[in-house]
């Protein structure tokens, strides 16, 4: 886009303006900017909990919630309510596979995004 500016003394000035589209990706490293701080706190708390966890059995909801709320109250990213284990925006779920339990966070549209996986021994 070009903008023309008329000035006194017979000079004509112009400016060229460029726009750059910006997109955001959901995930561990690239959270949506509006929810970056609460999601970052949740991710950080999960990583800290994973580093401290010595239990080799499958992760349970109770253990996960106790571990991530150890330092502060982790809340739903969108509503600010206490975090729940349900597939609704801003909350998390645990999904057990053959050798790990995956923690999923749900975005505003209800799409699941894996935050972390906790391996266990059978």
Tens digits of pLDDT across the chain (122 residues): 655 556 666 666 666 666 655 443 433 334 444 455 667 778 888 888 888 888 888 888 888 888 877 656 678 878 888 888 999 998 999 999 888 899 999 988 899 988 888 888 77
Residue 5 lies in a domain: no
Question: Domain range spanning residue 49?
Answer: 26-119
Residue 67 lies in a domain: yes
Dist. CA 79–CA 112, nearest whole Å: 17
- Do 78 and 90 form a contact (C-beta atoms < 8 A)? yes
Residue 72 lies in a domain: yes
Residue 11 lies in a domain: no
Number of domains in the chain: 1
Phi then psi for 89, rounded to 5 degrees?
A: -50, 130
Residue 109 lies in a domain: yes
32 CB-contact burial (10 Å; exposed 0-12 / middle 13-18 / buried 19+): middle
Residue 65 lies in a domain: yes
Model pTM?
0.65
Q: Which H or E run includes 50?
A: helix 36-52
Residue 87 lies in a domain: yes
Residue 97 lies in a domain: yes
């Amino acid at each position: 886009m070009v903008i023309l500016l008329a000035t006194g003394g017979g000079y004509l000035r112009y400016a060229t303006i460029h726009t750059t589209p910006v997109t955001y990706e959901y995930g561990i490293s690239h959270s949506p900017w509006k929810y970056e701080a609460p999601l970052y706190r949740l991710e950080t708390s999960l990583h800290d909990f994973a580093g401290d966890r010595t239990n080799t059995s499958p992760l349970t909801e109770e253990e996960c919630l106790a571990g991530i709320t150890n330092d502060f109250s982790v809340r739903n990213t969108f509503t600010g309510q206490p975090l729940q284990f349900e597939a609704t925006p801003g909350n998390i779920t645990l999904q057990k596979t053959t050798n790990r339990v995956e923690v999923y966070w749900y975005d505003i549209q209800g799409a699941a995004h894996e935050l972390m996986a906790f391996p266990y021994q059978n």
